[in-house]
Structure 1
């Protein structure tokens, strides 16, 4: 059976309350002729996508210029790319891809041998990362015929297509991506254009040039991107996060211009040191007890944004439901009293008050969050200061959107091979067992036990789900809300028929 259907994003839609801020975007483009100007939050280093440790802006560029077997459309659904069709075996442990009859850059035919080699190289480069763990069930990539490859798994990975559509799984040939867009560098950014089918070894399409427009992508800080939009020099701003969302409050933007994606993921404090005060589990829990999450949420006044004390977003696939929100029914004053006792116990014998550095990106939204956290910690006797996101620190603000909607994504972010400080080996072993387990119910049980073990160790202090925002001029075609929190460029370059 051929499966090219849309993947479930039910877990992401549980967060659709954020849509209260969003008004519809009409189908026809304001600039139906000429290039579409886009301000992408980031810097020009995003143009270097050779390393697979990609910044958010670099993921956007690589996703447009280095195709994988499959890709995302504007709404985050799976569409064909280098593979034009695929079959999944009934046991879910083998994916067979038929490659399109086309060419790599330079004119060489796309073959199973070259595609398999590119995929194996990408998988090898991702070892030691959380995405590498997501893909760890891949046993081998085999060549079956001239244009057919098979991906064999040791256990089912229901979201394998979503994983293979990630920009990191793009498959360059001879150091060059196969499109679907070409890129020309320009001052401040790049101009991207859809590569005509005949230049990709495909049959020509009548009227292709009249249905394609170039994208003028400029990289800049968030404040300049918002200014560019307000001045009318950009029709689209991409890459907004919580650090910059207050900028949308300080302008005359219409409500319909601000688009919030219904994402899930992790937004909270990652323990980056297991020394001193943070060496003891009760002390790490004291910090989690002290935070007034609802006050942080209220500071942004965004409908539908909710706090959480869980590592895993409730209701995602693979969530056994055995781990719930922590400290339900316990008043904040009680939690802080317990936390303050632990700080006092740590200081017994003349130790100074704990001083914790929190590494976080600079921006008005981040400062708003860190200021409130610092006040919460002060209430229990802990001093907290913000430092740059690339500086040494005891705590680090993590702001990551899920790449797929399952419990395993969340837990893999905290695996010992990915993040060593304060990790717990018992939870790690349960995660490893879950990856090798073919029975999905048994896998969910193991993941629930792993979540309980990791939660008890407090290597991560959850606050809420992440926020991702864009600014969209009314009438821009090719933009849609996306549960993965980033927006592919190729749909924006294809005008409606």
Structure 2
């Protein structure tokens, strides 16, 4: 264990170069542009097709380009979007959204309710393969339409007139929060018909939000400019926003210190006291509804049909040391899937969460031997992650723990984001991979739904009839306490299937330049540029 601690401390010091007084002063000064916002955005967005987006990098951009029926303010509160108001029936199953007058696309064409309905039908069409469609399984016939069992016309969304959209659901559900997701944004279908997958390119992408797409240089940056036809254009204070690809968190910090960026997507794993001394109040660390875990491919050897081996790998990871020495920004060790703090929900935990690490490691070694592995017959395993400094350091630390505790031989594989996402989804070559979930809405169901079917987000290939039954009981529950109790039972079942290795619960962490105004912490860590301003 001493070797692991030393290795972790070494990992945390990588890239933490001494800071000169000049560097420190440079990071403080408001010498960045006052007309164009420069934002770090993590990996290259996998798509700008709103219906196909499944990660934070594209979601950040799409929330600037589009607006749904419902929007969010700077603090993450729900506010009117395209709909100026909405009502719900007494049984909670019919939602009626009344649109603002004079809505227009960024090309100047009128935007009305029938177009919004047509966009929803495209989102749920089988050929679209929208990864977030399962989040809307409460919408009448949504699952059947996506499966190709019903035509899109049968989707429970219609437009009785040009300024009204009605959505029918099969159970009471917090629909307005779901309508802030990119899958619920209106896509301009004439461009899709004309250009296919290339409708997302500059000069072709037609949107309806505060900004429109101006330029996109792959693997470098993407620029949006103010959309004069947005209904609240007069309130948008920044004319242009450039989203930079910043997969390397250490390099992103250096760019911020050089005043190339106003906002970073994250912070590299460095000692927080030193960063605070350097940047002071520019560091923004806040609670964040997100869980980081490693997924295990349970449909292929060596992890298929081997729960003892999977549990051994989970037990051997010292989460306290990971969060203390590798992440180091207030993250908390995770022994469950659903983060704490969701209203009315008591998250489940692995039954050995209260054990000390020595006891866990002893149990891990026993299970490893029972699974048929030993010092003379070690397991060889591939651990895959997308290119990122924090992910590299974390996977190095986990690999060291598996090696020192069990004798596992680990091969690390890092991949560019789009390749990584494709491989993870296909489950053909993955063994253990970087996973996790950032909450789309503050609802425990959002963290558990992916494992209730064989959809695009069930990356491990988890398939358990009992889990699906518990999840179905939660959906059928008639009260919030009953629903949460069934969801907790489902989470417990999922945890003890050991298809996932929970590691920690997130905090959001950014550097924000002093001249940026309007950046507010919120649990989902969403910061649309329409709410920001630059001080001259």
Q: How high is the TM-score relative to the length of structure 2?
A: 0.76
Q: Matches of 1:401 and 1:226 in 2, distance apart?
A: 22
**Gap regions ≥5 residues in structure 2:** 1-29, 141-155, 192-205, 424-428
Q: Matches of 2:185 and 2:33 in 1, distance apart?
A: 30
Contact preservation (8 Å) 2:313, 2:402: yes
Q: After superposition, where does 1:130-279 map in structure 2 within 5 Å?
A: 131-139=132-140, 140-158=156-174, 160-173=175-188, 174-175=190-191, 176-185=206-215, 188-196=220-228, 199-200=229-230, 211-221=237-247, 222-237=249-264, 239-240=265-266, 244-246=268-270, 253-274=278-299, 275-279=301-305
Mean Cα displacement is larger for which, 289-298 or 141-150? 141-150
Q: Matches of 1:302 and 1:215 in 2, distance apart?
A: 30
Cα distance, 1:145 vs structure 2:
2.7
Q: Matches of 1:203 and 1:310 in 2, distance apart?
A: 42
Q: Matches of 2:131 and 2:520 in 1, distance apart?
A: 27
**In the alignment, which residue of structure 2 is the partner of 1:399?**
436
Mean Cα displacement is larger for which, 216-225 or 55-64? 216-225
Cα distance, 1:182 vs structure 2:
1.7
Of the candidates 314, 330, 355, which is equivalent to residue 330 of structure 1? Answer: 355
When the two chains are superposed, the root-mean-square deviation of aligned CA atoms in Å is 3.2
Higher relative contact order (CA 8 A, sep 6+): 1
SS in structure 2 of the partner of residue 41 of structure 1: coil
Q: How high is the TM-score relative to the length of structure 1?
A: 0.82
Contact preservation (8 Å) 1:343, 1:382: no
Contact preservation (8 Å) 2:311, 2:367: no
How many residues align? The count is 456
Seen in structure 2, the aligned counterparts of structure 1 residues 170 and 494 have a Cα distance that, compared at 3 Å, is farther
Cα distance, 1:114 vs structure 2:
1.4
Cα distance, 1:74 vs structure 2:
2.1
Seen in structure 2, the aligned counterparts of structure 1 residues 329 and 204 have a Cα distance that, compared at 3 Å, is closer
Contact preservation (8 Å) 2:293, 2:502: yes
Of the candidates 444, 447, 465, which is equivalent to residue 487 of structure 2? Answer: 447
Asked whether 1:413 is paired with 2:450, we answer: yes
Contact preservation (8 Å) 1:236, 1:472: yes
SS in structure 1 of the partner of residue 382 of structure 2: strand
**In the alignment, which residue of structure 2 is the partner of 1:425?**
465
Seen in structure 2, the aligned counterparts of structure 1 residues 88 and 230 have a Cα distance that, compared at 3 Å, is same
Residues 26-58 of structure 1 show CA distances to partners (whole Å, capped at 9, x for unaligned) of: xxx987952233333333x56743661344222
Q: Matches of 2:410 and 2:374 in 1, distance apart?
A: 22
Q: Matches of 1:317 and 1:125 in 2, distance apart?
A: 34
Mean Cα displacement is larger for which, 470-479 or 391-400? 391-400
**Gap regions ≥5 residues in structure 1:** 1-28
Q: After superposition, where does 1:83-162 map in structure 2 within 5 Å?
A: 83-102=83-102, 103-124=104-125, 131-139=132-140, 140-158=156-174, 160-162=175-177
**In the alignment, which residue of structure 2 is the partner of 1:306?**
332
Contact preservation (8 Å) 2:303, 2:431: no
Q: Matches of 1:246 and 1:292 in 2, distance apart?
A: 19
Cα distance, 1:85 vs structure 2:
1.3
Cα distance, 1:129 vs structure 2:
6.4
Seen in structure 2, the aligned counterparts of structure 1 residues 270 and 348 have a Cα distance that, compared at 3 Å, is closer
